[in-house]
């Protein structure tokens, strides 16, 4: 099978690079300066153990890839970018492709299934960073992370097993799971702390805020009849790359890079949505969503809020 990695940032770049190193047919889709850097100089993958530059084929849009039936397209952009990305993919691809969502949150698979019949969810635990065009930093080695996969909305099949086998042979822990969305809901609960890390910076100063956000999240999932398994994070196993430790997760990196957008509407915002549907109050997640969106929109960097300022703002909401 050929892998087309649509969104070659931290997650997509690491997955594409490791698959390519194991001899898989891989094409990356990247944008702007990142596309130009990979096209002209290759993709550099820095890990705790080594730095390699790989001449991976790259395109700037799906129309330039010549997609064929049986190709596996790994979506790896942030969820707020998924709809326009899928529109481009739909215009350029035959319906017989496989779409696998290597993304946080639980909305991407549903969006993809509107357009393509063969959709797979991936529960991704992969500490990596993309802060410079053409360069990806992956902070675990020799195992790069975990990529469990399963058919959406549920089920196990040969494609899921083949994907898991390919990932497992390319430095990832990977299992085919028929209940993959349960695992993605479990990962969603972990990701509710992303906004806290982005707003307050790494450390324990936001520990109680994270606890409250996850408590709200768990209550909403119970009300929705979702009982996710515990997804143990691997982030604690990360190691420095070129003497530098991972500064923060994907939401933190969005503020750090000044992208102007952030993924919280599909992380904390997913809990807010479930709370509204099931009558569960979610004031902590709602405030995190609003503050993180404002920080991205106004160009603030990570770590510019204090815990005291957050609690004061929460009291001001009257909740």
Q: In CATH, what number is assigned to the domain containing residue 26?
A: 3.40.50.720
**Residue 190 and residue 172 share a domain:** no
**Residue 204 and residue 187 share a domain:** yes
Rounded to the nearest angstrom, the gap between the alpha carbon of residue 304 and the centroid of all alpha carbons in its chain is 23
- Give the position of tokens 């990932």: 167
**Residue 185 and residue 65 share a domain:** no
Which element (helix H / strand E) includes 136? strand 135-138
| Alpha-carbon distance values, 247 to 164, 167, 302, 307 (Å) | 29, 26, 10, 19
Statement: residue 16 has pLDDT above 60: yes
Mean predicted confidence (pLDDT) in 172-198: 95
| Alpha-carbon distance values, 55 to 1, 3, 310 (Å) | 19, 15, 46
Give the model's pLDDT for residue 237.
74
Backbone angles phi, psi at 318, to 5 degrees: 75, 20
Q: Give the CATH number, domain containing residue 257.
A: 1.10.1040.10
**Residue 185 and residue 173 share a domain:** no
The mean of the pLDDT values for the chain is: 95
**Residue 226 and residue 99 share a domain:** no
Burial letters for 45-68: b for 16+ Cβ neighbours within 10 Å, e otherwise? bbbeeeeeebebebbbbbeebebe
Statement: residue 98 has pLDDT above 60: yes
Give the model's pLDDT for residue 249.
87
Statement: residue 233 has pLDDT above 70: no
| Alpha-carbon distance values, 93 to 14, 87, 241 (Å) | 24, 10, 37
**d(Cα 309, Cα 38) in Å, to the nearest integer?**
42
Last-in-domain residue among 163, 178, 193:
178
Number of residues that make up the chain: 319
**Residue 116 and residue 10 share a domain:** yes
Last-in-domain residue among 178, 202, 230:
178
Give the model's pLDDT for residue 97.
98
Give the model's pLDDT for residue 230.
78
Mean predicted confidence (pLDDT) in 144-162: 96
CB count in 10 Å sphere of residue 260: 11
**Residue 166 and residue 201 share a domain:** no
**d(Cα 296, Cα 260) in Å, to the nearest integer?**
5
**Residue 183 and residue 82 share a domain:** no
Give the model's pLDDT for residue 189.
95
Last-in-domain residue among 158, 178, 198:
178
Contacts of 87 (CB under 8 A, 6+ apart): none
What is the rounded end-to-end Cα distance, in angstroms, of the chain?
Answer: 52
Angle in degrees, 0-180, between the axes of helices 283-298 and 307-316, rounded to the nearest 10? 120
Instruction: Give all strands of the β-sheet with 145-151 in edge-to-edge order.
Output: 58-59, 25-29, 2-6, 72-75, 98-101, 119-125, 145-151, 172-173
* Total domains in the fold of the chain: 2
**Residue 222 and residue 156 share a domain:** no
**Residue 291 and residue 255 share a domain:** yes
Give the model's pLDDT for residue 70.
96
8 Å CB contact between 310 and 209: yes
Domain that holds residue 143: 1-178
Mean predicted confidence (pLDDT) in 24-28: 98
pLDDT tens by residue, 99-124: 999 999 999 999 999 999 999 999 99
8 Å CB contact between 94 and 122: no
**Residue 241 and residue 168 share a domain:** no
Q: Nearest-CA neighbor of 314 among 223, 196, 185? A: 196
**Residue 197 and residue 172 share a domain:** no
Give percent of the chain with pLDDT exceeding 70. 98
Top pLDDT among 319 and 16 is at: 16
């Amino acid at each position: 099978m050929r892998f087309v990695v649509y969104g070659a940032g931290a997650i997509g770049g690491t997955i594409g690079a490791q698959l390519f190193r194991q001899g898989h047919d891989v094409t990356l889709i990247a944008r702007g300066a990142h596309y130009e850097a990979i096209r002209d100089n290759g993709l550099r993958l820095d890990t705790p153990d080594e730095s390699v530059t790989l001449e991976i084929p790259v395109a700037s849009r799906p129309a330039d890839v010549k997609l064929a039936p049986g190709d596996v397209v790994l979506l790896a952009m942030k969820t707020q970018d998924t709809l326009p990305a899928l529109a481009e993919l739909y215009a350029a691809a035959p319906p017989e492709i496989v779409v696998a969502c290597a993304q946080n949150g639980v909305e991407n698979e549903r969006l993809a299934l509107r357009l393509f019949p063969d959709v797979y969810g991936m529960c991704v635990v992969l500490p990596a960073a993309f802060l410079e065009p053409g360069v990806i930093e992956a902070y675990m080695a020799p195992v790069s992370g975990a990529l469990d996969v399963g058919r959406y909305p549920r089920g196990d099949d040969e494609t899921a097993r083949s994907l898991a086998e390919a990932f497992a042979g390319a430095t990832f822990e990977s299992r085919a799971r028929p209940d993959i969305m349960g695992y993605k809901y479990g990962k969603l609960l972990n990701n509710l702390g992303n906004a806290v890390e982005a707003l307050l910076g790494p450390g324990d100063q936001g520990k109680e805020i994270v606890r409250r956000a996850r408590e709200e999240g768990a209550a909403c999932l119970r009300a929705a009849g979702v009982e996710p398994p515990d997804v143990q994070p691997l982030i604690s196993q990360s190691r420095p790359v070129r003497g530098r430790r991972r500064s923060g997760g994907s939401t933190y990196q969005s503020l750090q890079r000044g992208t102007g957008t952030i993924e919280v509407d599909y992380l904390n915002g997913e809990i807010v949505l479930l709370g509204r549907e099931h009558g569960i109050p979610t004031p902590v997640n709602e405030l995190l969503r609003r503050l993180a969106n404002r920080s991205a929109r106004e160009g603030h960097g990570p770590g510019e809020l204090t815990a005291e300022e957050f609690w004061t703002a929460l009291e001001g909401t009257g909740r």
